[in-house]
Chains A and B, each alone.
Chain A
Amino acid sequence: MPGLLSRERIIAQPGFNRWLVPPAALAIHLSIGMAYGFSVFWLPLSKAIGITQSVPCPAEMGFLARLFATSCDWKISTLGWMYTLFFVFLGSSAALFGRWVERVGPRRAGVVAAFCWGGGFVISALGVHLHQIWMLWVGSGVIGGCGLGLGYISPVSTLIKWFPDRRGMATGMAIMGFGGGAMIGSPLANLLMNHFKTPTSVGVTQTFVTMGLIYFVSMLCGAFGYRMPAPDWKPEGWTPPAGSNAMITRRHAHVSRAWRTPQFWLLWTVLCMNVSAGIGVIGMASPMLQEVFGGKVIGLVGALQDLTEDQRTQVATIGAGFAALLSLFNITGRIVWASLSDYWGRKRTYVVFFALGIVLYSLAPTAGRLGSVPLFVSIFCIILTMYGGGFATIPAYLADMFGTQHVGAIHGRLLTAWSTAGILGPVLVNYIREYQIDRGVAPGSAYTTTMYILAGLLVIGFIANLSVKPVDDRFFMSDAQLAEERRLAHEGGARR
């Protein structure tokens, strides 16, 4: 009898309702999406020793000594390395283990992801308790990052197979969860830290343990909720459209050949440019609003530096509200654009992302110069929908180009574009900004060149997307090779 986690055990019985699969995927993506919300821990963790205020390490203390120091607090910049580790290990693990996920099926991958992500929280809790920053990096950053990668790709292939008629919408639902995870996790973390904090503790240790357990259970529920359709299953009453659309193949490329095609690298460039520009904008949208408009956002005249401390706090509160508004548009874009791509086609959807994006990125500085807050806010909200939409539409684009057999593994390799963008976007934005300010440009004006350069990245993405043509026949598997792949993946086993 096949094991509890095996792929054969999760082939659905006839009559299984396919709408049960998206919530299973959401349970996993909403859990791992907390990666975006980790900044909620930075301030309390930077006071883990001092409790009311941070205790700085002696200036002469070296890097290694700081890794093991238990008598002084961590800097926020040191804690921030966790973000880099998250996205580097997300991409790397998805690329390395994508093939394994295809072979063993989504349930086993989901369970391993639950152990990595939940376990990472527990190791981090121990790291906070012992005040060892390296344990947080290894626990949440490396092990948790691997959980992110496995969890992120685990439902992709399954959802595309259950929804051949709405590939974009199906993957959009799951990937919307990754965008929404921090919306649940951040306020929950605040509630828990307030509950657990004492005069001698900031409450992060207990919060990490509690959240680790919650995410572990939630991800296990998701993993055990996954079901695979039988091979060649299709929805009742649906027939694949007559083979007139060359941009949607009915054949299947092997992952080891797919990544050697020009199409793979063009789509890699498409994702990398869209995400680099988006990450750049996310990082600077709120400070840009505050510095460009200054007192105007609270109905006063004057630049930010001319305001009183109290007025600056009010402006910062508006900035936080703007960041929250952007996160709502980010998750909305994931489901809306991905669903629209089912009707428009993937290539056309990305043409809209890039063409509209180039116009909006270039218009943002003008909106600042005109002093129009509503226009400025609207531009960034639309940009954020396209950032989210880019993530959510790419799995369906890959399925259209390379077929569904290895789409999860191919998507895993493509996610290295995300890791690259996670470094490229912030580095580019910070470097350009510092370069300009060092040369005497006013902080409020330093964003203009940055926005034009980000628009330039979108031009590269636009050209890459236009260059995508159907994959050459020689890259697809023969019928015999496909049958062998299906045999290796134990497809068509016991029904549950």
Chain B
Amino acid sequence: MSETRSSPVSWVLVVVAWGAVGLPLAWGIYKTLQTAVKIFR
């Protein structure tokens, strides 16, 4: 059995779903980077 092509609406959902997990993760990485850069100062 094969995949039938995904609809454009499903790609919008993909962007929303990835944004919902990606934005908090990006904030967490930013906060970690703020601490990590101290090693390069």
- Pair A183/B28 contact, Cβ less than 8 Å: yes
Q: Does A367 reach chain B (CB closer than 8 Å)? A: no
With both beta carbons as reference points, the residue of chain B lying nearest to A18 in the complex is identified as: B3
A184 in contact (CB, < 8 A)? yes
Quick check: B39 and A325 within 8 Å, CB to CB? yes
Is there contact, CB below 8 Å, between B1 and A230?
A: yes
Most buried by A among B2, B4, B21, B28: B21
Tell whether, in the assembled complex, residue B17 and residue A324 are in contact, meaning their CB atoms are under 8 Å apart.
no
Q: Is the CB of A184 within 8 A of B25?
A: yes
Q: Decide if A303 is an interface residue (CB 8 Å cutoff).
A: no
B32 & A24 in contact (Cβ 8 Å cutoff)? no
- Flag whether A277 is at the interface (Cβ < 8 A): no
Known: A20-B14, A27-B21. A234 touches B35 (CB 8 A): no
A183 lies within 8 A of B32 (CB): yes
Q: Mark B14-33, 1 if CB is under 8 A from A, else 0.
A: 10011011101101110111
Q: How large is the interface on B (under 10, 10 to 19, 20 to 34, 35 or more residues)?
A: 20 to 34
B6 CB → nearest A CB, Å: 4
Instruction: Judge whether A443 is part of the interface by a CB distance below 8 angstroms.
Output: no
What chain B residues lie within 8 Å of A27 (beta carbons)? 20-21
- Tell me the dominant secondary structure on chain B's binding face: helix
Answer whether A236 and B29 are a contact pair too, CB < 8 Å, given A16-B10, A20-B10.
Answer: no
Which listed residue, B10, B28, B33, B37, touches A180 by the CB 8 Å rule?
B28
Chain B residue contacts of A377, Cβ below 8 A: 39
Q: Which of A117-125, A315-323, A355-363 touches B?
A: A315-323
Interface residues of A in 319-338 (CB under 8 A from B): 320-322, 324-325, 327-328
Query: Which residue of chain B is the closest to A191 with respect to CB atoms?
Result: B31
Count contacts on A: residues with CB < 8 A to the other chain. 40
List residues of chain B with CB within 8 A of the CB of A236. 2-5
Is the beta-carbon distance between A327 and B38 smaller than 8 angstroms? Answer: no
Answer yes or no: A58 CB below 8 A from chain B CBs: no
Complex CA distance for A297 and B22, rounded to whole angstroms: 34
CB-based contact A183/B29 at 8 Å:
yes
Nearest residue, chain A, Cβ from B18: A23
Q: A15-B6, A16-B10, A17-B6 are in contact. Are A180 and B1 (CB under 8 A)?
A: no
Contact assessment for B35 and A15 in the assembled complex, using a CB-CB cutoff below 8 Å: no
| Contact of A177 with B21 at beta-carbon distance under 8 Å, contacts A16-B10, A20-B14, A184-B27 already known | yes
Given contacts A24-B17, A317-B38, contact A30 B25 (CB under 8 A): yes
Do A320 and B32 touch (CB < 8 A)? no
Q: Are A225 and B17 in contact (CB under 8 A)?
A: yes
**Contact between A23 and B36, CB atoms less than 8 A apart:** no
State whether A321 touches B36 (Cβ < 8 A): yes
Shortest C-beta distance, B41 to chain A (Å), equals 8
Please indicate the chain A residues that have their CB under 8 angstroms from the CB of B22 in the complex: 23
Q: Kindly state the separation between the CA atoms of A33 and B32 in the bound complex, as whole angstroms.
A: 15
B18 CB to closest chain A CB, in angstroms? 5
- Chain A neighbourhood of B4, CB < 8 A: 14-15, 236
| Any B CB within 8 A of the CB of A80 | no
**Chain B residue at minimum C-beta to C-beta distance from A326:** B36
> What A residues does B31 contact at CB under 8 A?
183, 186-187
For A16, A23, A235, A322, the residue with the greatest tally of chain B CB atoms inside 10 Å of its CB is A23
CB distance from B21 to the nearest CB of A (A): 4
Is A232's CB within 8 Å of the partner chain B? yes
Whether B28 contacts A187 by the Cβ 8 Å rule is yes
Are B5 and A23 in touch, CB under 8 angstroms?
no
Q: Which residue of A lies closest to B9 (CB)?
A: A17
Nearest 9 A-B pairs (CB), nearest first? A183-B28, A321-B38, A184-B28, A17-B10, A321-B39, A324-B35, A23-B17, A17-B6, A325-B36
Pairs across A and B, CB under 8 Å, 15 listed: A15-B5, A17-B13, A17-B14, A20-B14, A177-B25, A184-B27, A187-B27, A221-B20, A234-B3, A235-B3, A318-B39, A320-B38, A321-B36, A325-B39, A328-B36
19 further A-B pairs in the complex, CB-CB below 8 A; given A183-B28, A318-B39, A320-B38:
A16-B6, A17-B10, A23-B14, A26-B21, A27-B20, A27-B21, A183-B32, A187-B27, A232-B1, A233-B1, A233-B2, A234-B2, A234-B3, A318-B38, A321-B36, A321-B39, A322-B39, A324-B32, A328-B29
